[in-house]
Amino acid sequence: MDIGFIGLGNMGAPMARRLIEAGHKLTVYDTRNDAVAPFVALGAQLASSPQDVADRVETVIASLPEPQVVAKVAVGEGGLLHGKCIKRFVDLSTTGARMAATIAAGLGKRDIVQIDSPVSGGVAGAVKGTLAVMVSGPQADIDTVKDALSVFGTVFVVGHKPGMAQTMKLANNFLSATAMAATSEAVVMGVKAGLDPSVMVEVINAGSGRNTATTDKFPKAVIPRTFNLGFATALMLKDVRLCFAEAKALGVPNEVMSAVLNVWETCNAEMGADADFTTVIQPIEKRAGVTVGKKS
């Protein structure tokens, strides 16, 4: 399949590579020359702009960091909307349901279909092809791209209205963010009381408190103090903010979301937007006066 791919960052690059390895022909675009060079070396065609991508292929996939960036690429000046060939836009980014609906309406004026397809599973999942791929859009267009999306992981069709997959992604990432925040407080409390954090995680993983932070993130990045899972604090904060805003817009209770949002706002302010999201524990450690790490 001929596919355009825009956004070759931490998540986009391994997904684009998997498409090439699966035999798809790519036309790529990124604002950074160093990002596109490896793909050109693998045989991908280089485009000069999003519109140039959309002039060449019917299906364009994007993996971008911010809703405003997605909007600019899709419907802004020099964007996909103005392409001569494009028929569908597959958005792997996390934009929120309202932005997805806005972009879908804009593209719809030129009979371009938007397929929302945010993913979950992190950089490791993108490399291995084990992502959860959440999809919403017209079924006929989903059928057209489903085989391509399946190289990223397991495809879940969650609905057909614009934004439904975005809502699914926000619910998922809110739970992930909550697990990290809550586990950080719980383990810091235990360490302050004299418990070994490694033993704590073992016990939790054998009991009812088990979650993605205790099974994966704490053993891999927090207790070893590497903080290197490859997802920026600013991106997690963006997702929690979007989830909180969506809950408010829908009139859904959001007390827990509000508390979790405060934790991530603090992490972003104190650790920096580019810090790995696993550093969310560090402001909590600082206030408690302890460090969570392997016992010597």
Which of 111, 143, 161 lies at the terminal end of a domain, its last residue? 161
- The whole-angstrom separation of Cα 74 and Cα 86 is 11
113, 58: one domain: yes
Domain CATH for 190: 1.10.1040.10
CATH number for the domain that contains residue 137: 3.40.50.720
* pLDDT at residue 57 is higher than 80: yes
User: Which of 161, 183, 203 is the last residue before a domain boundary?
Assistant: 161
The pLDDT tens digits of the residues spanning 115-137 come to 999 999 989 999 999 999 999 99
Among the three residues 127, 161, 195, which one is the final residue of a domain in this structure? 161
Residue 296 lies in a domain: no
Enzyme catalytic residues: 169
Residue 218, in any domain of the structure: yes
144 and 191 assigned to the same domain = no
Question: Residue type at 257?
Answer: M
Burial of 31 (0-12, 13-18, 19+ CB in 10 A): exposed
Distance CA 121, CA 93 (A): 13
The whole domain housing 179 covers: 167-288
pLDDT (mean) for 184-195: 98
Q: Is residue 294 part of a domain?
A: no
Q: Is residue 271 part of a domain?
A: yes
- Looking at residue 293, what is its pLDDT? 87
CA distance 118 to 216: 21
Same domain, 229 and 119: no
Residue 295 lies in a domain: no
Same domain, yes or no: 8 and 144: yes
Give pTM, 2 decimals: 0.92
Question: Do residue 147 and residue 22 come from a single domain?
Answer: yes
Between the CA of residue 146 and those of 22, 93, 163, 214, 246, what are the distances in Å? 13, 17, 18, 32, 27
Total domain count, the chain: 2
Assess if residue 293 is contained within a domain: no
In this predicted structure, what is the pLDDT of residue 230? Answer: 86
